[in-house]
Amino acid sequence: MPTTPNSIITTQGINTQQVVTTAAKTTYNDLVNAVLAYTAGPNGAVVYGVTALPRANVTASQLQLYRSPDGTAAFFEKSVVMPVYNFSDITAPTQTDFGYSETVPLRLEPNERLYVANRVALAGGVSWSVAGEDL
């Protein structure tokens, strides 16, 4: 819904999205091998969480987050390292967190997009979850 400048804008709805990445992304200036993970609403959004879990055995590897205003331009936002994990019946994989929360959110412009990627190819993939609220 369109808004009026200098008006209080409250949350219009919860927006959660999940994707899986498998291909290696070795460049940082484009969206090749990145996967669209979140699109802000028409008034923008506040993202409270970006997390990832391996879906197969993984060596320590870089996970990447990109912002895009239009689905073409890519801006490297942040990276974190997913720890080593070998699947077992008695252990659980560590959820890799990008550090966003309700007290430290990532604010997005109207219709801005978040893309995610992993630096190393992983046939089983990495499962991503992005949670926020549209304004």
Residue 2 lies in a domain: no
pLDDT(53) > 90: yes
Which of the four pLDDT bands, split at 50, 70 and 90, describes residue 15? confident
pLDDT(119) > 80: yes
For range 103-112, the mean pLDDT = 94
Find, among 83, 97, 85, 102, the residue nearest to 14 by Cα.
102
Residue range(s) defining the domain that contains residue 92: 27-134
Residue 9 lies in a domain: no
What's the pLDDT at 87? 87
Residue 63, classified by CB atoms within 10 Å of its CB into exposed (0-12), middle (13-18) or buried (19+), is buried
Residue 36 lies in a domain: yes
pLDDT(40) > 80: yes
Residue 90 lies in a domain: yes
CA angle, 39 as apex, 1 and 109 as ends, to 5°?
Answer: 65
pLDDT(1) > 60: no
Residue 79 lies in a domain: yes
CATH of the domain at 68: 2.60.120
For 19-29, the pLDDT digits (tens) are 999 999 999 99
How many structural domains are present in the chain?
1
Residue 117 lies in a domain: yes
For 87-100, the pLDDT digits (tens) are 888 988 889 999 99
pLDDT(125) > 70: yes
- Mean residue pLDDT across the chain: 90
- Any idea which residue has 């997390």 for tokens? 51
